Each structure stands twice: as structure tokens, then as C-alpha cells.
Structure 1
Amino acid sequence: MGFIHSRAAYYPNSDEHGTDVGACGFGSFGATINGGDVSAASDLYRNGVGCGDCYQVRCTNSHYCSDKGVTVVITDQGSGPNTDFILSRRAFGRMAQTKDAAASLLALGVVDIEYRRVSCSYPNKNITIKIDENSNYPYYLAFILWYQQGDKDITAVQLCETQNFVCKLCFF
């Protein structure tokens, strides 16, 4: 898949990692998944279907930026001035060639980028289903998928009762 041109900013009020909250419901885990290389996205969020998707993001300023860029995981929804991504400070700086170049990128605040969807890879991890804390209400179940490998979207899951094996298909 080819690269798409856009712009990226970073969370100015975060530490090196992403935020402890986010529209994807990852909570504090969202700030640490993928080593903290995380991002909010605008249209790529896709009403939550884009949560957990991975993207290679690289800035296009040849003076500061590396060719490799950084792989980020979508953990939140958000947008900035004509941007598709709002990266964690760590991820924003990792687009640079050197630590000095990273400081220069951070000083710019918003940079031109190119990005593409890539496979997520979590070595030694299996997909995990986390039951949301708000699922304590009768007849309400909310869950979040962690460590989804690959580059495909999960748009439905089938839940089955263990006693009578009655199943229901749930769509996202």
C-alpha cells in the first residue's frame, strides 16, 4: 500500500507516552501499548473500528526525519490543524533521525507526514478481550480488544453461552 500525505501534531500535555484516557476505552493501558508509540486519529478512528489499528507514520522534512518513521497504534480520536494524527511525544520524536532532530521536530509542533496502514505485531502476546468496567449494568456488556495482530479490522464477534451454546453475533 502506498503512502498518504497529511500532517501530524503531538499531545503537548502528555509525558513521553500517550494519554491515560481516550475514545477507544483502553484507559491507562492505552498510554503504554506499543511502548507508548500511540496516536489519536481523526477520520481513521472510524467510529471506533479504527481502535488498535497500526500505521507507519514518517515526517517528510529530509533535514530532520528518518526514512523509517514510527509505527503507532490508534488509541484515541482527535484532530488538530489539518492533521490525521496526534502522536504521543515519544512517537513524534521517533520520526526524527537523531535526538537533536527530535527536539527540533517537537519545537515545530505540527509537521507534514506520509502514512500507511501496516500490520500490528505484538511478540509473545495473544489477542485479549477486556471487559469494560461499565459492564456491571444488567443486560449490558462492553469489551475492548487488545493486542490485535495483523492489518485487518474486527467488525463483529460471536459470543456464546457456555451452558446451552446459544450464540449472538455482535457488530461494531
Structure 2
Amino acid sequence: MAGQRSMVLVMVTALFLFCRATTPNGNEWKAAHATFYGDMTASETMQGACGYGDLFKQGYGLLSTALSTALFNNGQTCGACYEIQCHNSTQWCLKGKITVTATNFCPPNYSKPDGNWCNPPLQHFDLSQPMFRQIARYRAGIVPVIYRRVPCVKHGGVKFEIKGNPYWILVLVYNVGGAGDVTDVKIKGSNTSWIQMSRNWGQNWQTSAQLVGQSLSFRVSTSDGKMVQAVNVVPSCWRFGEVYDSKYNFP
């Protein structure tokens, strides 16, 4: 990025390092289509391909979407936020816009090359039904839309859910503000240097380092070049299956 980044150092329960950068994709609107899946409870949207679990408990709720192959980018776009509005259909469009977070994948169906809107190279959003019905009439089924990437506004801090076993640690990183889509994670135990983690699937990141009994710190980077450093955000008495809130988020 251009040399206008600024560093801000904040010490509380965690230490954060912010680098200023531009909004992802600016304000450019692009054309796509949208459908919906599931009923009005949106229960079918849980446990998606991004690795998130209960979207209500994790703060995403109904404001979620599955992405077609062209947008999903092998899971790297998980957590990104999109502003969407129905476009160019007076019969089916409703006024207004929605902002949703990418939490799932809309798989292609190559047996129907002309009948599956999630086949590449199409850009498509498969929304929860409540979100779809805010921008279009239910009977439409599928509508043309315009969309743009927007910064994610999340309540609370970046959260880390630790899973795995003493020999293999899997960390789900979620509730990420700003660009939203995590592109790199590093972990540090109180007795180690920084360790590079690798993406397992979605926004689950893994390491084989043995870190049980150590307090944990994280460096989380997003696609717009920003990085948050959270020092000792996880206490040494941490347990598998627990979620740890960093208390702070990307601006």
C-alpha cells in the first residue's frame, strides 16, 4: 500500500497493531444474481463451508450469504462483507439494500452448465431467505443484483475458538471487522517465537506446535493489508473448545 499507513499501539488485555489501508474494492458496484436457500429461520445456513458454527451465537445471525465459486476463492473470501441491492427488475425488486457477511459456499453443479447460477465464472449470492426477502419478492426465486465490498462492522473483538488436541491446534478466527477476510495468522506461545499457521479450511487455521499451558498471542492479517497483533489474549489456563475474545477489532 502507499506510504500513508499509520501505526497505533494500544495496550489493554491485548496489544493491537493497526496499519491504515484503503477500503477493499473501493465503492465499485458490480453485477451479479441472487437466490436464497432455507426457510425464514435460516437454520440451514448454520455450519457452512467457512468453518463458522452457530451464526447466531457468533454474531452473524441472518446477515449472511453463500458465495459462488468465482467469489468464494477457495475460502479466502470467508468473512468479507457485501452491500447488495436488487437491480433492473421492477416486477421483482424491492427498495433498499442489505449488508451481509460471507459465511458459506454455493457449490457448482456441472451437470447443469446452463442451469446452475453458482457455476463459474458467474458471480452469485445465495442468501438466507430473510435477507433475500428484504430486497426482492419471494416468488422471484432469482433476481439480478448489484453489489460491492464494504467494510465489516462487528460488535466486540476478534474472537478465537481453539479446537484440536495437544499435538494439533485448530483456531477459528471470526467476528473480524474491516476487510473481514483473514489472509494470514501467526500464533505465539509465551515460551515460543512467532509461528506461522496455515489455513485448514475456511477461516480455521492450524499448527502442530505444542502450546498447551502457555498464554497465546496472535497476529491476524486481512486482505487490505491491515494487521492486528493481540498479545496474551488467551491465558495460559486455556482449554480446547473455548472461545477467547480479544476485546478489540479492526477499525
Normalising to structure 1: TM-score of the pair?
0.80
Which structure has the greater CA radius of gyration?
A: 2
Q: Give the aligned residue type for 1:65.
A: L
Residue equivalent to 2:194:
167
Residue equivalent to 1:99:
none
Matched position secondary structure for 1:28: coil
2:94 aligns with one of 45, 48, 65: 65
Change (3 A) 1:73 1:19: same
Could you give the per-residue CA deviations for residues 50-76 of structure 1, whole angstroms, max 9, x where no partner exists? Answer: 11110001111245322x410011111
2:174 aligns with one of 146, 151, 154: 146
1:89 aligns with 2:168: no
Q: Which has the higher strand share?
A: 2
- Between 16-25 and 2-11, report the one with greater CA deviation: 16-25
1:127 aligns with 2:168: no
Structure 1 residue 14 displacement after superposition = 3.3
How many equivalent pairs are there?
A: 157
Q: Contact 1:79–1:85 (CA<8 Å) still a contact in 2?
A: no
Structure 1 residue 31 displacement after superposition = 8.3
Q: Give the aligned residue type for 1:91.
A: M
Change (3 A) 1:22 1:152: closer
Structure 1's unaligned 5+ residue stretches are 97-104
Map residues 16-165 of structure 1 onto 2, 5 A cutoff.
16-17=41-42, 19-29=45-55, 33-42=59-68, 43-60=70-87, 61-63=89-91, 64-66=93-95, 68-79=96-107, 81-83=116-118, 84-96=124-136, 105-123=137-155, 125-132=156-163, 135-136=164-165, 139-151=167-179, 153-162=181-190, 164-165=191-192
Structure 2's unaligned 5+ residue stretches are 1-26, 109-115, 119-123, 200-251
Q: Contact 2:65–2:128 (CA<8 Å) still a contact in 1?
A: yes
Change (3 A) 1:85 1:8: same
Q: Give the aligned residue type for 2:141.
A: G
For residues 31 and 38 of structure 1, the distance between their equivalents in structure 2, rounded to whole angstroms, comes to: 13
